[in-house]
Amino acid sequence: MASGEGLEDIVAGKSAISTIDGKRGVLTYRGISIHDLADHSTFEETVYLLWYGRLPKAVELRNFCEQAWAEVRLPKDVVAQLHSLPDDANPMSLLRTGVSLLGLSDPEEGGSNAPEQPAPGVNLIGQLGPEAPGFGPNHPNSKKAVRLLGQMAALVAAIQRLQKHQDLVAPRPGKSIAYNFLLMLTGKEPDEEATRIFDTCLILHADHEFNASTFTARVAAGTLSDLHSAIVAAVCALKGPLHGGANTAVMKMLMEVQDPARAQDWVKDALDKKKKIMGFGHRMYKGEDPRATHLRKMSESLCAKVGRPDLYELSKNIETAMFALKQIKPNVDFYSASVYYSLGIDPELYTPIFAMSRVSGWIAHVLEQLANNRLIRPVADYVGRQDVPYAPLAQR
Ligand code: CMC
Cβ(325) to ligand 1 under 6 A?
A: no
pLDDT digits 0-9 by tens, 41-72? 999 999 999 998 999 999 999 999 999 999 99
* Closest CA to ligand 1's atom 30: 283
Q: What is the pLDDT of residue 12?
A: 93
**Nearest-5° angle of CA 360, CA 8, CA 16?**
35
Phi, psi for 218 (deg, rounded to 5) = -70, -40
Q: Note whether 227 and 363 are within 8 A (CB).
A: yes
The mean pLDDT value of the chain amounts to: 93
- How close is the Cα of 280 to the center of ligand 1, in Å? 7
- pTM (2 decimals)? 0.94
- How close is the Cα of 273 to the center of ligand 1, in Å? 15
**pLDDT > 70 fraction of the chain, expressed in percent and rounded:** 94
pLDDT digits 0-9 by tens, 8-32? 989 999 999 999 999 999 999 999 9
SS (H, E, C) 180-224: HHHHHHHCCCCCHHHHHHHHHHHHHHCCCCCCHHHHHHHHHHHCC
Cβ(239) to ligand 1 under 6 A?
A: no
Mean pLDDT of 160-169: 96
- How close is the Cα of 39 to the center of ligand 1, in Å? 29
The pick from 18, 236, 331 for probing ligand 1's pocket by mutation, whose C-beta has the most ligand atoms within 8 angstroms, reads: 331
Q: What is the pLDDT of residue 132?
A: 63
Cβ(328) to ligand 1 under 6 A?
A: yes
Mean pLDDT of 262-285: 96
Q: What is the pLDDT of residue 180?
A: 98
Q: Which of 113-122, 241-250, 383-392 has the lowest mean pLDDT?
A: 113-122
Cβ(326) to ligand 1 under 6 A?
A: yes
Cβ(355) to ligand 1 under 6 A?
A: no
pLDDT digits 0-9 by tens, 64-99? 999 999 999 999 999 999 999 998 999 999 999 999
165 part of the active site = no
Kindly report the length of the chain.
Answer: 396
- Ligand 1 atom with the smallest distance to the CA of 6 is 30
Q: Is the pLDDT of residue 112 over 80?
A: no
Output DSSP code: residue 166: -
Q: Is the pLDDT of residue 206 over 70?
A: yes
Top CATH class, 34-118+129-200+208-240+356-371: mainly alpha
Cβ(331) to ligand 1 under 6 A?
A: yes
Q: Which of 282, 289, 294, 365 is catalytic?
A: 282
243 part of the active site = no
- Ligand 1 atom with the smallest distance to the CA of 354 is 52
- The domains of the chain are located at 34-118+129-200+208-240+356-371
Q: Note whether 258 and 311 are within 8 A (CB).
A: no
Q: What is the pLDDT of residue 125?
A: 47
Strands 26-29 and 18-21, bridge-based pairing? antiparallel
How many other C-beta atoms lie within 10 A of the C-beta of residue 186? 18
Q: What is the pLDDT of residue 129?
A: 58
* Closest CA to ligand 1's atom 17: 1
Cβ(6) to ligand 1 under 6 A?
A: yes
Cβ(245) to ligand 1 under 6 A?
A: no
The neighbouring-strand residues paired with 18 are 29
Closest CA relative to residue 257, chosen from 189, 321, 207, 178: 321
